Structures are given as C-alpha cells and as structure tokens.
Structure 1
Amino acid sequence: MPTRGRWKDGGVTAPDQTSVPFASPAAAGGAEFIETPVAYDALVLASFGGPEGQDDVIPFLRNVTGGRGIPDERLEEVAHHYRHFGGVSPINQQNRELKAALEAELAARGIDLPVYWGNRNWAPYLDDAFTAASNDGHTTLLVLATSAYSSYSSDRQYREDIARAVTKAGLEDRVTADKVRLFFDHPGFVTPFQEGVDAAVTEFLGQGIPASDIHVLFSTHSIPTADAERSGPRDVDWGQGGAYVAQHRAVAERIMEKLGAVTGGATVPWQLVFQSRSGPPSQPWLEPDVNDVIAELPAAGAKAVVIVPLGFVSDHMEVMWDLDTEAMESAAEAGIPAVRTPTPGIHPAFVTGLIDLVVERIEGTPAAERPHVTDLGPWYDVSRPGDCENVRLGFKPAAAGIAP
C-alpha cells in the first residue's frame, strides 16, 4: 500500500500566487498544507442535493446528468428509486440535521462562525449560499463538502462547484473560498463505522456463528475505472483503482484490525465491494458489485454478512435503495442473515471531527499534529495539479487546488 505523509518534507509550494483560484492569501501559494491561521468568517456546507417531491425527481435527475443528453424516458428508469420513497431523497433533511449539529458544536466551543448550506444539484444551490454569505458581510469562506474520498465526483467536482458558484454569484473580487481536506481517515469519520462493525459482528457471534463464517462487505459507490485511476495526485503509485480504492481499502483494513478486540483475535473475512453503477455496459466501472458478491457467499461458507456503507456520510438514496432494499433482498435470496451498519450521520464523533477539521484551518494546525488513522493521511488542504481528472469532461476551473 502506498504511504502518504509527505508533509514530513515540508510540503510543496506552487510557483506563483495565482495558481489556486479564489483562495485565501494563506492558501494561494498552493502548499500541500496550510499551517498559517486564517480568520474565516463563514462556513459553507456543500452537498449533492436531492428531490423533495415527485415533481422534483426528473428535473433533479436532469441536473445530475446535465450535458449528457439523456432523454427523460431513460431518466425515469432511475427515478423509480426516488418514487419508491415518495419522490423524496433523504439527503436534504440529513443536511439540515447536520447543519444544526455543526452549529451546536460551534456554539458549544464558543466559535462564532455562521453556517450556510448549498447543493450541487438541487435547492438550496451553492451559489445561493455564497450570495447569502456575501450579503451578510462575510468574505473569507471555508467550504465543508459532505464527501470523504478522492474521485472526480466526490472531490474535484465539488471544487468545480465552488469555482462555478463564486463566478455565477459574481463574487470573484469579493470573497475567497478554501475547502476542508478530505476526511476519509479522520477518526471522527471512522469511529461510527468501527462501532457499527463491532456491534454487528458481536451480535452474530452471540448467535453462535463462528467469526470465520461472518463476512464483512465494505461497500462504496462504483465509478468509471478510468476516473478511479486518475484519483489522487499523479506522483504517487496508488495501485489499481487509484487513490479512491486505496483510501477505502486502508480504512477498511484499519477497522478490521481493531475488530480483533471483539473476536479475540479470530479472523473475520472481508472484502471491498461496489454499488450503484450507472454507466453503459461498454464502459468499465469498479467491481465487484455488492449483490454479485452476496450471491456467492453461501458457496464460500458464509453464515452471516455485515454490510458497511463505507463510502457514504449519511443514509443517502444509494444506501436506502441499493443496500437496504436490493442488497438485503440478495441476502434473503442467498439464505443468510444480513446487517447493514449505520452511516456517520450526526454521530457525535463525526460532528466533533468535522469541527476539528474546521479548527485545523482556522488555527493553521501543523500537518504533523493532524489526526489520521491510516498511513495515507492527513490528506492535502490544497489539491495537487491534475488530481481527480474526469476523462470525459477534462479539466474545468476548480477552487482549492493548483490548476489544472
């Protein structure tokens, strides 16, 4: 496995002060880690967004697939996931709850930092959040995206969203916008997953199922293989699947190592699996699919399966449909009991951890003092050149990273 810890060498600085668009002066030079305090005056919570009624579903999916020319009749094939739940994605309500939890944690610490919320694909939109923050007199913004891992859609696209929102709102000369680092291996993010795996395995052990017959599947969103290979900085050999796969695998390995305290050292089989593929059959995407793996578990001697939504911060539609519905049906067809563990949501450790990440940037915490539970962290404050390129779309203007 690759190791990342290059902060020990002091980081890298870009050659000029204009290489990181819309950045604060501290981040504009492009150092990997910003160890200078920044007086941020507002926090912007950035997320994917989702429909909140049947009439919203197709317009929302048009936004998600914008520029691909997909006809509405094909979008309707995906819409049934949302229509099954009344046309309402859970993500907006989850973000309202997370925003309230972040505000409460900030208040408890005596940090005066208002929180705004904006989405990529549905109201409230990110440019509206930037406009509101600016209208309230805030000019030095820090963005917290609800995504933990490196990939185009989970990292670079959010940075493109920031650049587009600033430009669309006409705030290029009025605000700066930095972004909180990816937090895949921050203890606040990992702890809820660890607790869930520990509890599920303990439950099955209590039913008399041997540890070797309990299989743990760590599930995350599949992405095009070509995009996965381009995730993470280009100057590191991440192995097959790029930084996206390396990050998930590193976190899963950490969780399974600590699980030994529950099993008395007995080994529990585990695997990284993928879900929610949406591309054409001719385009390679990350595999294996979670349902295909579940179908094969009886032949492997499995008597129980623990499904861990490792790629998700809360119970998104992909969790409720692809895991709670389809994967559970697959487990029932295979004749084995299954438990789906919780996502971080508004778990106290997760909320506290997110504010810790915000404080890192406010105080300019040295990289050597930043918590992380794998050898890949702590991740960068400023993305490196070429990080998380989208093969189909190429490079668009993006904040919080060195161009392109």
Structure 2
Amino acid sequence: MRTQVGIIGGGPSGLLLSQLLHLNGIETVVLERHSRDYVLGRVRAGVLEHGFADLVREAGVADRMDAEGLVHDGFDIAYNGERHRIDLKGLTGNTVIVYGQTELTKDLYEARDRMGGIVVHGAEDVAPHDVETDTPCLTYRRGGEVHRVDCDFIVGCDGFHGVSRQAIPADRLREYEKVYPMGWFGLLSETPPVSEELIYVNHERGFALCSMRSHTRSRYYVQCGADERIEQWSDDRFWTELVSRLPEDAASTIVTGPSLEKTVAPLRSYVAEPMRHGSLFLAGDAAHIVPPTGAKGLNSAGSDIFYLFQALLDHYRKDDDSGLDHYSERALARIWKAERFSWWMTRLLHHFPAEDDFDRRIQTTELDYLFSSHAAQVSLAENYVGLPY
C-alpha cells in the first residue's frame, strides 16, 4: 500500500490529522492496534481550549460539539470553604467548551467513514522503518499476514507506550520527567452536575474537582495516594470523601448515584525532545504528558496537530519545508508552557505528602495573591483558555 502520510494511532490526534489532511487532498493511512469499540470506550478529557475547538471546526467535525458542548465562561476555585470565580471570558475574551474526548473521537470516526478514510484496526506489531531516509515505511501484522505501507512521512500519535518514540535512537532523545506523589480517583455518574461550571477544590484533606460531561452526566475526582487501587474505593467511600472536601453550598446540593466508571490516574509530567527524527514526527502523548489539573493533555496534542498540519500543507502545496524543519522547536515551545501551567496548577491545588510548613504557607500565599490580583487571574485565565498557536 502507498500513501503520503502514515499515521500510527487511531485516537483523536491521529484521526484529526488524517481528517485535516484528507480535506486538503493529502492521502493518509491510520494504523490502530485496538478495535474501534475499545478506542471509543476510553473516557478521557473533556475541556477544549478555544483554539482547539476552532481546529475541530476547520476539520468539519464540529456540528455535534457546537450543538451539545457546554460553553463555559469561567470556573471556581474553592478554598477555606469559599468559592472564587475565575472569569475566563471577562479576563481574556475567550471561553472553553466541555465536550468529552470520547464524543470527539466518535465524530472523527464518522467523518473518516463518510470520506472513505483508511483506518486499519487490529494492526499489531506496527513498526516504522527507514525513518532517516526520504522513503520510510510502516509494517504491521493483521489476520496472520504482514502488511507494508510506503509513505513520505510517518506521524506517531500512539501514546506514551507506543512504538513511535522508541524508533528515535536513545543517544538522540532527551527525556524530562517528574512523577508526583499522588493520583486522582475519578468517578463518572449519571447525575446532574453540582455546578454549571467546574469547581477546583483545595482542601486540607486533598484536592477535588467537580466536572461534567453533559447536563445529566457528572465527572468527579478526589486526590488519592499514588498507589491506590479502584477496589479500595466503594461508591459510598468516594461520595463521602468528595462531599467532605466541597464548600457547604455544593456539599448540600450534590446529587449522588451509582458509578458508571471508576478510574485511578497517576500524575506525571513528561517531555521528550526532539519531536522529529528524519521522516518521523511525534505528536501528543507520544512526546509529552501533563498532570490533568490544567486540562492540557488533549489540548496540547491539538497544538501539535495544528503545527504539523500546517507544515505538511506547506510541503505539499508550496514545496516549502520550513514548517517541517521547525516543527519540533515550535511545538515544544508551546508544550513547555503547557507543562509549566499544569505543574503550577498541580502545586497550587494539591496537598503534597512531604510538604513542610513553609511549603504550605507559600501555597496559601499564592492562593491569596491569585484571588486579590487581577493580573494573576489574567495569567491563569489566558493559559486555561489556551495560548495562541
């Protein structure tokens, strides 16, 4: 099989790039190890930056997002029993959209189907070859047979544990990592959200977050130990712990119910440099991970796709490779800002097991400064709604 861009990974990043390129006459093949049902069964992020939402519109898959997504003008930070609103729209002129990653992935799959896009599921043992040449290829095994895809470029959208990053020689790859001593226990329930906007909570018992996926489906989180397991948390234990951390007005009105899904997510910051090696380009979790505190995971992947899409467009339309040549440094410049913001939000809102009295006073002072400073709130808001591409 021959194509122009071979994409490893059939999640939202790979599908979005494939859709954008296809709309502009550039051929792609997407290889995904898992089934479509498996991919669509993963519950992930739900807060979309305004720039990412615009990219979804450019890809022609925004009808349901614009009709069903929840536009949020701000969010609350609860501290010492009081809620402090961060007015995103008033501070920046921009908003965010709450729309589940699963729903976005479904929209992208349906668009790929309508356009006859090639998405191969059950592609096992995917391997990139000859990435240091102008004639790379991909091989994969399916149905007992080995298949080959010749292409001009390979894009790795296959996540942290994928094969793409491993194709970069170890002596050319530099990795930065910070592992946090806590996790998030998350619960999804068919219950109305406790608030119209998100509530981030800094409490002496630990962080909590009240989020949602729709007007009738809620997503809640509490800080837990990094090594805790789902089996340790009954629904009753979760609801009791969550309510204990909420301000009184939210605690008294929250609607509880059976869990639809429970997860434990470790918190980690990670960046791999460079994001290009020859004809191979990395995007999304294949190159970087953020703690979920600032809602930057999917959005950071979106910025990678924006830069890569524009660069490939210039290559094929204008014979201009400057975008490809500078992709890694352009993408990383924005990624490190997202890493900084996610690290800062994590430090601001969580309790760290090893923190001392000085650390706690610094955190208290940081919160007091944020709530009293217009400039500090502008800084938070502009990062939350998304820095420009």
TM-score between both structures, scaled by the size of structure 1: 0.22
More strand by share: 2
Q: Greater relative contact order (Cα 8 A, min sep 6): structure 1 or 2?
A: 1
Under a length normalisation based on structure 2, what TM-score does the superposition of the two structures give?
A: 0.23
